Each structure stands twice: as structure tokens, then as C-alpha cells.
Amino acid sequence: MTIQTVSLNKSHGGMQGVYMHASAETGTDMAFSVYVPPHRDGAKLPVVWYLSGLTCTHANVTEKGELRSACAELGLTFVAPDTSPRGEKVPGDPAGAYDFGLGAGFYVDATQEPFARNYRMWSYVTEELPKLVADNFPIDARRQSILGHSMGGHGALTVALRHPDRYRAVSAFAPIVAPSQVPWGIKALGGYLGADKQAWRRHDAVALIEDGARFSDLLVDYGDADQFLAEQIRPELLKDACEKANIPLTLRRQPGYDHSYYFISTFMADHLRWHAARLKA
């Protein structure tokens, strides 16, 4: 697979790039960003995958996440894909809502029409893009971790819980921990996967833990001023599931913070240090 370079900018001694490629999974062109820290020739670097939230593209965290200083210091490559397929022929929400369709792929492989052809974000972020990145960037595939925000926090948790041997660390900012139980998730999982709620459980972190999935330890931050906290985020459900399953969970309530990138950027370096400690162990 070939990639097209959209932009390259030096930052903190490393290189921030934005790239495009033709995705076989989504049937569309897909954009993604990669920050490669300063490194010696021939080095293979640990990689952190970042999954973004509703309405976002790769650009939100790339431009607002304040990730590069910590990545340069810690020697981490940082990869941010888009959140959905895009293009004139890609179906969106019939009512034009922000929480389904374009910008809201929910990191699942859709089985329902008209979404099944293009909305294959699970296979894209777990199979196609990792292979593309491994072929084109100096990463060590044995040292991978994943984090995300909101819808992307849901994605990061479910990807890690289903691939515990691939990722050494997982963390999330204000993740949708139990999409089967909240409005955003019920709309997305029903729209993409259909009415069979058993099929939803493979894309629900709380349900996966209830069904036996395990990970070494989890880090989750949320703001107590998050406008979506009570209805959509529901961190207490993850806390209860982890306690019952004896999964170590560091769950941090951050006073006064909301759902925005002001919150994410404040704690990004903390999360990257968490990842680096496990990636380099």
C-alpha cells in the first residue's frame, strides 16, 4: 500500500506528518497523522495509537493535543487515524446528526445497509492501518499501546480488551465505557450492527469485561464538569466492572474539567508517561 504525504512539519526535533491513502477496508481515501520523535538511524520506536471522538478527524489531537513535547522526550511515535470514512458517496446520518455516520464510525465493522460497505473502522484501525504504518515508519510492532477520547476512548478500551497480547498499555479520556447502555452507543451500535444486542457486547468495554475479557491495568481520566458525564460517559460502570473482575483501574476525577481538548491536552503528558513506562518495561 502506498501513502501520499500531505504535510511535514518539524517539531520538538521530530517530524509531524499528515498522510493519505486509499483504504481497501473503507473503500475511500483515508487521512491519518504520525509524529515521529527524534531518533538514531535504524532505531525502531514504540508506537501509541490515538482514537478520536465524535465529530473529530486526525487533526483535532494533532493540532490541540499538545502531544509532541512528551513524545519527543519519551521517544514515542504517535499515530492518529480519522474517525470514519469520508467522501461524496459515503452515507451519513439520515437527519444529519453529529453522533452517527460521518465523523462517528464508533470503531466497528458495520453489518447493516447502507453502512456495511464503508464503515469498517474496526478492521481499519486494528488491521489495515497498523500494517501500513509498520511498512512506512520506524516502529517496533512488539511495543504498541492505545488511548482515546470519548467515542475513541470506547474504541481504545474495546480494542485493547480484545487484543491484550498486542497492546502493552491502554488509557482513555472520558470514554464511553458502556455504549450498550447510553444514548450515543445505542444509536450507533443499533444503526451499524442491527437489533441483536448480543452482537453489541463485543464493542462494549463493560460487557467485554463481564464476558471475561481482561487487561493488565487501565488508566481513565474524566472531568467532573463534563457535560456528557452523567448520560453518556458513566465511569462508575467501568469502576464496578473492573472491581468485580479484579482489573486494576486508575480512575481519576479531574475537578472543573469538561469534555474538550483543554481537558485532554492538560493530561496528555501524564497518559504518555503511563504508556512509556509500560512500553519500555
Active site residues: 150, 226, 259
Percent of the chain as helix, strand, coil, to the nearest 5:
35, 25, 40
Q: How many other CB atoms sit within 10 Å of the CB of residue 109? A: 18
Q: What letter represents residue 26's amino acid? A: T
**Residues 6 or more apart whose Cβ sits within 8 Å of residue 185:** 106, 154, 176, 178, 179, 200, 204, 232
**Residues 6 or more apart whose Cβ sits within 8 Å of residue 230:** none
Q: Is the dihedral of CA 183, 128, 199, 159 positive or negative?
A: negative
d(CA 184, CA 85): 19
45-68 in b/e form (b: 16+ CB < 10 A) is: bbbbbbbbbbebbbebbbeebebb
Residue 170's Cβ-count burial label (10 Å; 0-12, 13-18, 19+) is buried
